[in-house]
Amino acid sequence: MASLNPAACCMEGYAHHGEPAGTVCKYEDFDIYVAKPAVSTNKVIIYLTDIFGLPFTNHKLIADNFAKQGFLAVIPNLFYDDHIPFPRPDGFDLPGWVQRHQPQHTEPIIEKTFEFIKKEFPAVEKLFSVGYCYGGKYVVRLLDEGKLDAGYVAHPSFVSEDELRAIKAPLSIAAAEIDVVFPEEKRHQSESILKEIKATYNIVLYASVSHGFAVRGDLSDEVVTWTQEAAFWQAVQWFTRFSK
């Protein structure tokens, strides 16, 4: 594994306050959150969430911020009604939940999201994707299929070495210094694989923060607030580079 399976840290974090500015659309049998920029654009970010899924407000607020930077941002509901509630219930069976949300369950929803974009936003030419924790695996898998112009992942979970080795488009990684799912040895292993395949990539390590910092950190902590913002701008700058 280039990163390890989800662990207890994947179910921890803080809810952020704010009123989402986008809208929820129904496409076939699942919901998609859409955040539109003030001016029409030809670039989209497909936002793949952590295990708390679309109902978790933090994701919508981040998507809104991507829209403020000129990107159309869409968040598919990857889990239908089976997202992990926030805060998570005591004794929640994470391994059992993971077994219900394998690639054969998740990737059809992502495929339909591409269909939605093509139908509803035909002007889109540049396709990017961000993935947080659980969603990171699927960004990496999309980079193998030639469907993205670039991808970004933050504190990814259960990405296999073969999946990482197969990427064919640029990848940016935001890593936490304290992370049992994407620890130091896995960061170094991932870097070695990316160097080996001569990928276009960068890896940014953020000190003094834990797994989940880029989406559900404690914003009362100045260090966490700064690093979440820095990780956000890392994604924006990465996609801007490949928007031209």
Active site residues: 133, 179, 211
* Residue 107: how many other CB atoms lie within 10 Å: 15
Q: CA-CA distance, 38 to 26, in Å (whole number)? A: 22
Longest dimension (CA), the chain: 48
- Which helix (H) or strand (E) segment is 225 a member of? helix 222-241
Residue 74 near residue 45, CB atoms below 8 Å: yes
In contact, 174 and 237? CB cutoff 8 Å: no
* DSSP tally for the chain: helices H, then strands E: 8, 8
